Structure 1
Amino acid sequence: MKKLRLLLITLCVTALMGSMAVTAYAGGGEEWDGLAPVEPLPAETVDPGEGFTEEGNLVTRDLLYDEHTNKQFITVRPAAAITFYIVIDYDKPTDED
């Protein structure tokens, strides 16, 4: 009886494992020509920024202000060529504790 039970459990496990490996709709269907090929974007050029001081090594890349969200976005880059993004939220309440 134990051998029959072990055989049935092994058979069920094998059947379940085999059925889960079947991919659904992986190889069928007509080719869809709905989208045109996308042209690659032009290479982005980086303009030299201005340093905060004459001997400083921090250079600003972008200074943007969004009136709708009342936020200022600043992109800076030190001499190590790591870009930092700074977001200033003018609507955030200040902590006065």
Structure 2
Amino acid sequence: MENVTFDYKFYRIPKRFFKEDMFRDMTNAAKVLYGILLDRKCLSDSNGDAWRDEYGITYIIFTIEEIMNLMNLGNKNVNKMFKELEEHGLIYRRH
């Protein structure tokens, strides 16, 4: 790949998801979704207090439909991944 310039944009996925036993049962798809959500959170963080709740916690708005389109998955699969992330204490959703 010499002399080829790419504008790489990527999602970060914590290495601990692949190293720690507590995450062994989590699907790789849920791990990727977490990376996508983390990217969105970083964007909210960069916008300061506008995306913080009354407790100072950064939040994001990302619909199920947006995630379905981005990941090319159905509603059932996306909701299953969200459940995995919640069960591992990685996210909290307000409905």
TM-score (normalizing by structure 1): 0.24
Structure (1 or 2) with the larger CA radius of gyration: 1
More helix by share: 2
| Highest RCO, 1 vs 2 (Cα 8 Å, sep ≥ 6) | 2
